A and B are shown apart, each in its own frame.
Chain A
């Protein structure tokens, strides 16, 4: 990374001057945190810490590191280590272990991840500008690959990569001084680099400016990545990395924090009404640029590209592969806010959805109360819910019941079919035929399987009403999912029918000739 060109030392630049405008709770926190800025009386403009350029830091302007070496606190996503609260550079020791391990990337889909610290993204590292860092990279003995680390926060050839090249069962050590403040990506840079990154070898390191970032009520760590598997989206089982798809930038999954559903349901980020939230957002890539957006929120501040200036009132911010941004907003109304890559097919069809659940008193002035995100939630978020997991587990155990299928099917239907056929199954007159009470549907289960797998077009008569339209094939669904959905629709809104088994779906899928490439 080229060092930032030296600039004139400034004590209070435009963005930082805004620190006076803190919410009351933030100001109180500030008063108790012991950062240099807290010397000023609470809720007034605090004294601005001096800002140093990289060149000045390199020349020793911040002074020698002080005190005994400090072991850096590392956190697994979505958590962030506490502020360093230090007023001078320190000697900081970072221990990071590379672990290759198999974990779910989606419901019932496993992937062999290469990780920094056992998670994707890797452990969050938090240090302060001017710190002297002694970095230890350990490569677990069970690993198959050599790995290294390139920290974009490091000024020097390769960001530490050459000096951290480590064979399995070995460790290496290098040192650097953090010259530039900011939020930086780190990643593995071992050949083939794209593959190491595609397998999950990236994370974020925050270098706080002197005086830290303005206090907030909550901080979270979210990082997007694109994934390339041999099987198609949601195809069950252990899915190997697909080099060809990676070269073609044809992602199978685009997800936050290493797995579809990593920030959904019980894993959703939490906040309370009135709180100021800061999210450190990174994008590991390897290929895709993120259009990061939180549905129902406007970012009060975005420190774009992870630098030290911010833009205000931003709807969607662009995060390059190998880049970052810090976003902040105050959550004004309760409900579920959905994090997406606003390149929407990634959100709907590849998993780029996360959630923040905000609890607390309704703020009807700000928002009337209708669930803003029901459509978005319906799709992937709901599909990864407990009933689907229960049905998957039961299928694996060979003990799937009709009720489990119906429960799972209800969730999946809401995400996949209800936009057209409506939640009550009644469809829309003349456009989308009804499923509730449909003679066409109930007459032949196998035929309906075929409709879901391959779509339907041309004239069709349902309950004596003619339709002549197009239903696209729902090719993103796997056999289990199709079976659950059809079992649900054939047993809801007054319909009464048998269970549709995954085996029947598999048969129909096999019988259908497919054009080459249609499955992917």
Chain B
């Protein structure tokens, strides 16, 4: 387990990093009149939830043990590679559904980050809080996205942390966000999106804010291919929390 964890509700929780908030330009703004959104200050776990941490959760809440949740909450791949309890396993947990991820965060007294929160933090490179205009950094992310996931996953916190002090936003696993199915790209990425607003709201290169941020395109495409019960070998999560106002 990573350093700086606290024990709460029987879970070994990851330390939270304070993100002071800021403005962020979503690739597909929910409201085209408001291309820039204001993200309020919040707290984000410093790294993705590990296998070890999830094992503790499964012990506390056996209804999330492998094979237990019903198909509407987790598909057949749920914890497919799971082997007994491995409290010291530092690799990110994957093969978890959105429902499972939410249940974990709720048990921790936390929540999943929103897409805007997650993307705000994901803009940061190791040196800049907003590196979304740094082509070298974008190319680095893209290279990870392009490589197949045949090699086993490494541990969390193995790379460099970003300018916020957060680890593994890129390069290790994809992550669930609370509103993953809001910013839907049409299944067909080229549609303009007049017809079915609910599903195809503001999609395609025509309405996107920054057509050059291909890495962001890929994350949005990735999220929109998902349904809440789905699990995959490269999809994990981390939790966020509200900043208590004094």
Which residues of A are at the interface with B, using a C-beta cutoff of 8 A? 100-102, 112, 141-146, 148, 150, 157-159, 161-170, 189-193, 195, 199, 240-241, 243-244, 247
Contacts and interface: CB of A to CB of B under 8 A. Distances in A.
28 contacts: A100-B148, A101-B148, A112-B147, A142-B148, A142-B233, A143-B149, A144-B145, A144-B146, A145-B145, A158-B187, A158-B190, A161-B187, A164-B187, A165-B225, A167-B222, A167-B225, A167-B230, A167-B235, A168-B233, A169-B231, A169-B232, A189-B189, A191-B218, A191-B221, A192-B218, A195-B146, A244-B139, A247-B212
B131 interface: no
Contacts of A145: 145, 218, 222
B79 interface: no
Contacts, number: 106
Contacts of B148: 100-102, 112, 142-144
Interface string B224-236: 1110001111110
Query: 7 closest A-B pairs (Cβ-Cβ)?
Result: A146-B225, A161-B188, A158-B188, A165-B187, A162-B187, A191-B189, A100-B148
Contacts of B220: 191
B185 interface: yes
Nearest to A102: B148
A169 to B, nearest CB: 5
B135 interface: yes
B233 A162 contact: no
Query: Which of A144, A159, A199 lies at the interface centre, i.e. has the most chain B CB atoms within 10 A of its CB?
Result: A144
B220 to A, nearest CB: 7
Given A143-B149, A161-B188, A243 B232 contact: no
Nearest to B230: A167
Contacts of B221: 146, 190-192
A192 B213 CA distance: 10
Given A158-B190, A165-B224, 6 more contacts: A101-B148, A112-B148, A168-B233, A189-B189, A191-B189, A241-B143
B82 interface: no
A100 B189 CA distance: 20
A132 B135 CA distance: 46
Contacts of A141: 77, 232-233
Contacts of B191: 157-158, 162
Interface in B122-179: 135, 139, 142-143, 145-150
B188 A144 contact: no
A492 to B, nearest CB: 42
B149 A142 contact: yes
Given A145-B222, A162-B188, A189-B189, A167 B232 contact: yes
